[in-house]
Structure 1
């Protein structure tokens, strides 16, 4: 009997929710079949079988929660005698546990963590002829990404390489190089139930909300933030967008947004300011060779940051198309791990909500994030005369361990110059 364990499907995942079982007890399973949909701290992702067999038991039912490495089901492999019938245990993954015994959460937390988070990687296993053991989906991803499977350490059963291993190999981001700082001592826990009034409602934390709370708290505690703000003349940007969209619509293509132009402009300027496209590690400052821009997207369950890779090498219309696709996936919780990792700089835009100015919390391990407000009309001076002008305010939050004040100011100054002459970003 083989235990199916709760997988690690993102670098920030600590526990997962079983969203839906795609196989039921008694179903035949082939290696590579999708067994279950797992809700992580960022998305709903499919988890595949690594061996042939029959699904003998579901330990954690739909909606159940389990930490990484805890068994969620059991698979009877070929040649094994039939196991005695065992009832599913839907209460096992609920929290708090019933008085009769510990929950699966408590049991797993008392066992050694065999997931990649503790730095221990299972031995690479080889099959007949020295072939590296890997799942079918992992092999497909490796082929598409041009990754040599022999360079990857597998974390699946018996050292088998799984999709998450391939995704981690694709993005050697400093998120995996930087050990998380020891969190400050937590304040004594208080009982939420004791503070609730009859008119109050206690809303359970989702996986995304827990991760937002943890990561952004760590960011504010460990990264010394400082802020540089500049208001730019947004008239040329608005004019360029109007001209482009008129031509795009005439050609039957989708329009571009103000944020698309900002992302493209930021990517162009980051070329000349590599220190802003960096991360802090205990070993030193990592200046990233690629410019991968994260775009903050608000969803019903919380903030997620899909990544536009190599934004400096893509046209404005390509960035626009990718942004729309990624935002749609984010709202449907269908983003893949490779679409949410590897960011080197983030843009957060609240202009569509009519917000003029705000400051954003750095998305670790990145060294900076750009907060962008709305394009607004206000009185100003143009050619020596009072006129109605368009303005837009942007604020760069920087990690002072990486970026000095003058370096942040130079980046914001140059970005403003490109936004005020936006053809420089399109050319």
Structure 2
């Protein structure tokens, strides 16, 4: 039977979302659990999956439209079902076509390179009205960048090439499906820039010549991120604990594991840290908690969020039941989440849950830093770079490999002594990592 596909509420506080693109065309069939459309949330692109097989009879919302939660976005039918009069069916269902509801396609906006502060979110430009002409069947629309809520669709390779060339991806015209920016589009833009004459210097007295400024309107994501982080610092009384860990044995274990696995999966230092965090949760479960207005919620499993840098900013996918993973399966799970995070293909459920986040800036040479807690978590662990330093062992100064950890803790559900016990357990596991194999 025919039925309406409605805009899902991807989080409890959502009142609307942006339909990024349709993945199944009109009159095309789909199977159970197939992705029908992609919706842009504050942290990722989330696919709407089909509940049973069928056919997309009619899409009711154009890509790039802001849609209220619960509003109809498409008309679906069962496999093989025939509809003699689609217009009559639309009237019967109370929808008139692509513009049946007040959904405003959004305007592409220029944005600079996203901030990569450990506590920051990923920017999504602010919605606004735009006119989208519908070509007749005999017209061939000119290629244009495909956008959703200001985000330009582009392949990961195209984004990297554009970033390396210093060309904003928003300035490149895409020729892929729905205007997607491809590698050849970036290469053409690079060639065109190389062939163009150098720009004239700014006129004397202009704001540019005087070192002026450019105001970039707050995006929906940047505004939400600011509100969440301000609320975190205002509502969650942070306190910080710091420890410096000797990691010679940890590095040796990593080398042995990678030699044993022989390329099946590559284990990183961060994978071992995440595994150690789960083991520390088992030893000091009082930190595996979150604060609610009514109670301290204690979690049975160690679900751990990871800060992953993407073209859109930082996202924090959650690895479920880290304690139940072997180190090799954990490394594979972390790699899978990171790759899908960078491609914008995380599911909403993978961005929710957990009681602690692990954020690592060691690959940038950062020795230590303190991060803002990601609500509603009770803590965030900031991991610095492994560095060679002289250390004291048995009264003698010897060379050593050390790493600094900074734990930010919400003092509402966790007392200082609990956090100190947890950090001591984590430090012991990293300095004697054979316990991670148990």
TM-score, with structure 2 as normaliser: 0.66
Aligned to 1:280: 291
Aligned to 1:320: 331
Matched, 1:92 2:94: no
What is the rounded CA distance, in whole Å, between the counterparts of 1:257 and 1:64 in structure 2? 41
Instruction: Give the counterpart of 2:343 among 315, 329, 332.
Output: 332
Report the Cα offset of residue 388 of structure 1: 2.3
SS of corresponding position for 2:285: coil
Aligned to 1:83: 87
Q: Deviations over 1:384-421 (max 9, x none)?
A: 22232211110111110111111111111121111111
Alignment of 1:402-413 (within 5 A): 402-413=413-424
Alignment of 1:194-273 (within 5 A): 200-201=213-214, 203=216, 208-249=221-262, 252-273=263-284
What is the rounded CA distance, in whole Å, between the counterparts of 1:223 and 1:404 in structure 2? 13
CA contact (8 A) 1:9 1:337 kept: yes
**Structure 1 residues 14, 301: CA separation in 2 closer, same or farther (over 3 Å shift)?**
farther
**Structure 1 residues 68, 379: CA separation in 2 closer, same or farther (over 3 Å shift)?**
same
What is the rounded CA distance, in whole Å, between the counterparts of 1:299 and 1:30 in structure 2? 30
Instruction: Give the counterpart of 1:295 among 291, 300, 306.
Output: 306
Instruction: Give the counterpart of 2:430 among 396, 419, 427.
Output: 419
Q: CA RMSD in A?
A: 3.2
SS of corresponding position for 1:342: coil
Aligned to 1:377: 388
Aligned to 2:123: none
Structure 1 unaligned spans of 5+: 99-196
Alignment of 1:357-368 (within 5 A): 357-368=368-379
Alignment of 1:123-138 (within 5 A): none
Report the Cα offset of residue 373 of structure 1: 0.6
Report the Cα offset of residue 273 of structure 1: 1.2
SS of corresponding position for 2:398: strand
Number of corresponding residues: 326
Q: Deviations over 1:301-359 (max 9, x none)?
A: 12111112111122111111111111111111111223222212221111111111111
What is the rounded CA distance, in whole Å, between the counterparts of 1:62 and 1:276 in structure 2? 43
CA contact (8 A) 2:47 2:347 kept: no
CA contact (8 A) 1:16 1:207 kept: no
CA contact (8 A) 1:29 1:55 kept: no
What is the rounded CA distance, in whole Å, between the counterparts of 1:330 and 1:421 in structure 2? 32
What is the rounded CA distance, in whole Å, between the counterparts of 2:103 and 2:289 in structure 1? 46
Aligned to 1:305: 316
What is the rounded CA distance, in whole Å, between the counterparts of 1:82 and 1:371 in structure 2? 57
CA contact (8 A) 1:13 1:40 kept: no
Aligned to 1:116: none
**Structure 1 residues 219, 80: CA separation in 2 closer, same or farther (over 3 Å shift)?**
farther
Report the Cα offset of residue 74 of structure 1: 5.7
Alignment of 1:33-112 (within 5 A): 34-48=35-49, 55-56=57-58, 58-59=60-61, 61-73=62-74, 81-83=85-87, 88-89=98-99, 92-94=104-106, 95-97=127-129
Aligned to 1:392: 403
Aligned to 1:149: none
Report the Cα offset of residue 238 of structure 1: 1.8
